[in-house]
Chain A
């Protein structure tokens, strides 16, 4: 019970901090002081206090987009175990729900974007649809591999099972998986090299361009939802890459928080060290991620 409460509290409060840490890391690499760690929280609060503007050409779909996207991500956050603790909701086959909750959220974001009738948002939806199709196989190969390794069909079972012992036995498969999932993590969360969350250039955006017409609280919901998505996918990735566990509940929570912050620093470093990919190269890298994950599946199945 305590673990569930901590789980929900963390999922509610911590996600924007990751963005703050990424921003601070990038600033450090660029020789700047950077915005405060808590800036993403201030931004969300500021947006929540603003009014909204809705185009008269949009329908309920436009308003539902941000809410569905946040709701699906929030449910996904309940399915994924944080650190060495069971997730609040766990059942056999929840991994399929986990994958398609994101798909549902994405569908509504794209539908809301198309609802505006803007040519930019149409372009963004087309890009998002193409790239998310290519990112999905990686996730499923990863789930197959993990379920094979653990013999479990629930996310909690398969992710908590990963430990340094498993790494010693099937290091090659896990390494391939970590590479593939890191690519998907960056792509799904619109980070460089796939998308630039800070750009103002509407023609180059993928995700940001779909939310151009949202304002005020709706935009706050979108920003918070994006942070939560990074948090949830990050928690999945941290299980694979940094499976620390001590057995002591409180220490494990601390380790989880530290691992998430480490992940944010690593993302910040990647963003500082390289430029964005040309848009035509994005599918190639996503397919590469799928192939890496497929090989890891091959390695554990043989």
Chain B
């Protein structure tokens, strides 16, 4: 069953004429049917036109064959909201309303997403609500009324050195009834800037969608450019990309393990992991000169070759870091006071996680077995699989444990790949101009989870729309749910266990 969608595989492109365009009823009914059959929404966005917008929905099948589906419909100034029935659509519908000025009728939570200007001319739905233009964080927050209920507002300026985001807690004493999160402080207009691309600077913009996910987003962009340009990255380049992706995962998971330990006030692991994270970043620097992997990935291959000397050095450093990391993390499991703090804190049930469409380690910690590297393999992962790890307790302890288990798998993967780098064949094929009137969809598994890039080219071979979905877009709601009926003092710990991106969300 494809529910009226065109099915395809990750990292491929097809003519835009092949995308089925249904009438509204068929499209929305098929969307509902597919979601109830277990399909998951990867991306749902609109392209504004004179009378409304064309909506595209990209979904991932549950069949285990790596099937993706796409369909579209053209709507007028409004379209029926499905958010009440399918909570995973709720942010996507708000985003469509904000970007394309079409109203999701009956949306239960109709508020701005990024407080951005629409992609087309016209007045947004909220622009006059505050009188001073659209300012991030200025909206009607959900309120709990009552004598003993109090509201705590945190951010956008935080005590730590983190990105800006605004959090509203409705509390009863120390207990949190509800947490609402407002974003948009980091909005840079990346999607708008990409219209009419690609330009030479596009690759650099991709690398900075979320600075800590340079490789993840870079890989998705390269895949799109390669399939649109009809070139292939050489095997050697694919292997190095895979190594870089896993190094990025290692560095961030290590940093998170340390930060979680730091939040519960457990210093040894916190200090050690801070240093070991630097070791992993330095390994990425070994590959390309940048600790965050800037300049490593280029359409058609990689920017810098990885010769035998570098591979040997990488392997040696990896083994040393593995030993250090194992010791540092083992301290966590061996300290009862740490485990007491992590267990049964910030629980998101498996049902909720599936309903809101969570992805990545946060979803796997709730027992959802989803990982793009296995479900929709790309690059080196088509040849060499990494086992998917899941946890069952759905709490901070599960997210912590999962990070460590994933780090172990990544260490194994890199150690194996770096000793068997494919030889010869150059490391970068020349790129060509991209094909007109095509659609390309690429999914990668960044360290936070599924990254989805969709490129739609116009008749001149320019981007008519380049849609980016960062895993944080799926997961921020999970953090809100994790805080329900929790102690407000546990918020920083829950937040750290998710460690979502602000700029990846704000684009």
Contacts and interface: CB of A to CB of B under 8 A. Distances in A.
B267 A271 contact: yes
A201 interface: yes
A150 interface: no
Given A30-B271, A277-B341, A278-B340, A203 B265 contact: no
A275 B261 CA distance: 8
Given A193-B337, A277-B341, A203 B492 contact: yes
B487 A30 contact: no
A203 B491 contact: yes
A203 B150 contact: no
B268 A275 contact: no
Contact of A202 (B150, B154, B490): B154
A233 interface: no
Given A31-B271, A276-B264, A201 B492 contact: yes
A26 B154 contact: no
A31 B268 contact: yes
A212 to B, nearest CB: 8
A126 B150 CA distance: 13
Contact of B151 (A119, A192, A274): A119
A273 B493 CA distance: 19
B357 to A, nearest CB: 27
A115 interface: no
B335 A274 contact: yes
With most chain B CB atoms within 10 A of its CB, the pick from A26, A193, A201, A275 is A275
B272 interface: yes
A193 B264 CA distance: 9
B270 interface: yes
Contacts of B340: 275, 277-278, 281
A123 interface: yes
Contacts of A276: 264-265, 337, 341
Interface in B264-310: 264-268, 270-272, 275
Contact of B267 (A202, A272, A277): A272
B267 A119 contact: no
A192 B490 contact: no
Contacts of A26: 267
A201 to B, nearest CB: 4
A280 interface: yes
Contact of A201 (B263, B271, B272): B263
With most chain A CB atoms within 10 A of its CB, the pick from B151, B153, B154, B489 is B489
Contacts of B341: 275-278
Interface string A111-123: 0000000011011
Interface string B253-264: 000000001011
Contact of B152 (A120, A204, A275): A120
Contact of B337 (A120, A198, A275): A275
A193 B270 CA distance: 16
Interface string B484-499: 0001111111000000
B132 interface: no
Nearest to A212: B159
B173 to A, nearest CB: 8
For chain B, give the interface size range: 20 to 34
A256 B345 CA distance: 43
A281 B152 CA distance: 22
B160 A200 contact: yes
Interface in A262-295: 271-281
Given A29-B268, A31-B268, A201-B160, A278 B335 contact: no
B153 A278 contact: no
With most chain B CB atoms within 10 A of its CB, the pick from A29, A119, A204 is A204
With most chain A CB atoms within 10 A of its CB, the pick from B151, B153, B267, B271 is B267
Contacts of A122: 150
B487 A279 contact: yes
A193 B266 CA distance: 10
A204 B271 contact: no
B487 A275 contact: no
B492 A119 contact: no
Contacts of A123: 152, 174, 488
With most chain B CB atoms within 10 A of its CB, the pick from A26, A29, A120, A278 is A278
Interface in B121-163: 150-154, 159-160
Contacts of B268: 29-31, 272
A240 to B, nearest CB: 25
Nearest to B152: A119
B489 A204 contact: yes
B267 A29 contact: yes
Interface in A99-125: 119-120, 122-123
B272 A31 contact: yes
A26 B272 CA distance: 13
Nearest to A195: B265
Contacts of A199: 263, 265
Interface string A186-215: 000000110010111111100000000000
A192 to B, nearest CB: 5
Contact of A32 (B152, B160, B271, B489): B271
Contacts of B492: 201, 203-204
Nearest to B262: A199
A26 to B, nearest CB: 6
Contacts of A280: 174, 487
Contacts of B160: 200-201
Nearest to B269: A30
Contacts of B173: 126
B338 interface: yes
Interface in A172-192: 192
Interface of A: 26, 29-32, 119-120, 122-123, 126, 192-193, 196, 198-204, 271-281
Given A192-B265, A275-B337, 16 more contacts: A26-B267, A29-B267, A31-B275, A119-B151, A123-B152, A193-B265, A203-B488, A203-B489, A274-B335, A274-B337, A275-B264, A276-B337, A278-B487, A278-B489, A279-B490, A280-B487
26 contacts: A30-B271, A31-B271, A122-B150, A123-B488, A192-B265, A193-B265, A193-B337, A198-B265, A199-B263, A200-B160, A201-B160, A204-B491, A204-B493, A271-B265, A275-B266, A275-B337, A275-B338, A275-B341, A276-B264, A276-B337, A277-B340, A278-B340, A278-B490, A279-B174, A279-B487, A280-B174
Q: 8 tightest A-B contacts by CB?
A: A30-B271, A276-B265, A201-B492, A275-B264, A274-B337, A275-B266, A196-B265, A200-B159
